[in-house]
A and B are shown apart, each in its own frame.
Chain A
Amino acid sequence: MGIDKDIKNKFEERAIQPSASSWERLSNQLDMHAKRKRRRRFFYISSAASILLLVSIFALSLESDTIEDSIIPEKMIVETPAKTPEVKKEIDDLLDKNETIIAKNDTPKQEITPRKRSNKKAVDRNKELVPIEIPKTIMQNKDVIAKVDKSTGKGINLSADEVKLNKKKGTSRISVNSEALLYSVTHTEEEVVAYYKAHKIDREDVLNSIKKQLKKSNLKIDARTILADVERDIDDASFKENFMKIIKKRVSDLATAIASRND
């Protein structure tokens, strides 16, 4: 078309000079655009950083929660019904034969050491030791109880003050093994024999009866150990009155402790 061609030729090379300030205006617009771009980039980066921070805090809190959940208290005292009623009955029968007064034993406390990760030492220690409840009368009379030092094999005396200290810490129990009880005997043989004579009691009969009952109960405990633990307090006036009662309590405590440990 002629008209199109004419117009195209005239307009193709047409140039109009822009105003003198046009470049300044464009330069300002470019600066503004660059600033806006920087601000937008900063906003995106800061948003991303904030999100990352929040996510990491959340993850850390989750992790700490799981660690807290996985920590199991080292020891806890759980009240459980005694599983040794038969043992108690047998001991009661034995003591009835000797015409003594038998007191009922309360529900014993069972000491449980729950499993803990990489804490095998604690578990092993509990296997070796038999927890025994110390009667109040012993602590009140400032008697000395002994335990065995593992490294030397010698007995260590534990004064009543130390026992009190333990009590203050929240426990009235001291763990000793069977040998420790033998060390606790502080009387000579003569004194013991004199005591039995004075009270007309045959020591061998008592010992045999304890052995027999322990065998029936399938408990491998040296009967002399139990007896020896009792005999060390024979000088005490109140103890003399309740001799058979205390024997019964010692046997009962030991049987309960062993039965609990076997659980």
Chain B
Amino acid sequence: MKIIPLHTSQASLLKKASRQNREAQQQLFEQYAPKMLGVCRQYVKDNHHAEDLMLTGFLKVFTNLHKFKNEGSFEGWIRRIMINTCISYLRKKNPIQLTDEDFMFNDEATESLENTSVEDIQKLIDALPEGYKIVFNLFAIEGFKHAEIAEKLGITVSTSKSQLFKARKWLQENYIKMNAISNGDR
């Protein structure tokens, strides 16, 4: 078992890691990797793929650590890097089709997912079409605004809104279907 010395503060740990101190980097990795793997898993269905993307993200983190100015949450900074890595991977793999369509926002159709497990929700999200999934993740989970999403994905704000609406609708419908199947099994 490898013993890693504890660094007194986050700042000194980041300083050492930016100087390519492997121990400091390992400590940071072990601290943030589980959460970041969870982020990556939101965007890709496969765990191995998600891990590869997480490692690519961490490589970017450690090679650009000197650019982090301690002006915000380090976790937030890593999280953004992970999201960007996942999006660029998905865009490279399959150009995301995002169509600009009119939509009617229907709040009544929403149902609570409070009692649903994360794994089940993840399954629902995994089943979403690529375009819906990215917009839903960015808006609903990461808290980006439509303007930011539009800028990030190179689409219009209305497209972002329509994609979110369709994603919600699709999730509700599939949630109902999933519940019906599980109730029928019982």
> Which residues from chain A sit less than 8 Å from chain B, CB to CB?
1-4, 6-8, 10-19, 22-23, 25-27, 29-30, 33-34
Q: Are B111 and A3 touching (Cβ within 8 A)? A: yes
Apart from A8-B141, A27-B25, list 12 A-B contacts with CB within 8 A. A6-B113, A8-B143, A10-B118, A15-B35, A18-B37, A18-B54, A22-B29, A22-B55, A26-B59, A30-B25, A30-B62, A34-B20
Nearest residue (CB) in B for A37 is: B63
Question: A29's contact among B47, B55, B140, by CB below 8 Å, is which?
Answer: B55
B20 contacts across to A, CB distance below 8 A: 30, 34
B41 contacts across to A, CB distance below 8 A: 14, 16
Q: What would be 22 A-B contacts, judged by CB atoms less than 8 Å apart?
A: A1-B107, A3-B110, A3-B111, A3-B168, A6-B121, A7-B121, A7-B140, A10-B116, A14-B35, A14-B118, A17-B34, A17-B37, A18-B33, A18-B34, A18-B54, A22-B51, A23-B29, A23-B30, A26-B58, A27-B25, A30-B25, A30-B59
**Cβ contacts B20-54/A at 8 Å (1 or 0 each):** 10100110011001110110011000010011001
A3-B172, A6-B112, A8-B141 known; A16+B55 contact, CB < 8 A? no
B37 contacts across to A, CB distance below 8 A: 15-18
Nearest residue (CB) in B for A34 is: B20
Q: Are A26 and B140 touching (Cβ within 8 A)? A: no
A18-B33, A26-B55 known; A4+B140 contact, CB < 8 A? yes
> Which residues from chain B sit less than 8 Å from chain A, CB to CB?
20, 22, 25-26, 29-30, 33-35, 37-38, 41-42, 47, 50-51, 54-55, 58-59, 62-63, 107, 110-114, 116, 118, 121, 125, 139-141, 143, 168, 171-172
Q: Are A3 and B113 touching (Cβ within 8 A)? A: yes
A25 contacts across to B, CB distance below 8 A: 55
Separation of A23 and B139 alpha carbons in the complex (Å)? 31
Q: Are B47 and A16 touching (Cβ within 8 A)? A: yes
Q: Are A23 and B26 touching (Cβ within 8 A)? A: yes
A12 CB to nearest chain B CB (Å): 7
B116 contacts across to A, CB distance below 8 A: 6, 10
How many residue pairs, one in A and one in B, have C-beta atoms under 8 Å apart?
93
Q: Are B141 and A12 touching (Cβ within 8 A)? A: yes
A11-B42, A18-B33, A29-B55 known; A4+B139 contact, CB < 8 A? yes
Which of B33, B50, B111 has the most chain A CB within a 10 Å cutoff? B33
A8-B141, A12-B141, A26-B29 known; A2+B55 contact, CB < 8 A? no
A160 CB to nearest chain B CB (Å): 89
A12 contacts across to B, CB distance below 8 A: 141
Q: Are A15 and B51 touching (Cβ within 8 A)? A: no
The 10 closest A-B pairs by CB, nearest first: A15-B34, A4-B140, A14-B38, A6-B113, A16-B37, A10-B118, A16-B38, A18-B33, A11-B141, A3-B110
Separation of A16 and B32 alpha carbons in the complex (Å)? 10
Separation of A6 and B116 alpha carbons in the complex (Å)? 9
A6 contacts across to B, CB distance below 8 A: 112-114, 116, 121
Q: Are B139 and A11 touching (Cβ within 8 A)? A: no
B121 contacts across to A, CB distance below 8 A: 6-7, 10-11
B107 contacts across to A, CB distance below 8 A: 1
A22 contacts across to B, CB distance below 8 A: 29, 33, 51, 54-55
Separation of A109 and B123 alpha carbons in the complex (Å)? 111
Separation of A13 and B36 alpha carbons in the complex (Å)? 10
Nearest residue (CB) in B for A5 is: B140
Q: Are A18 and B51 touching (Cβ within 8 A)? A: yes
A1 contacts across to B, CB distance below 8 A: 107, 110, 140, 168
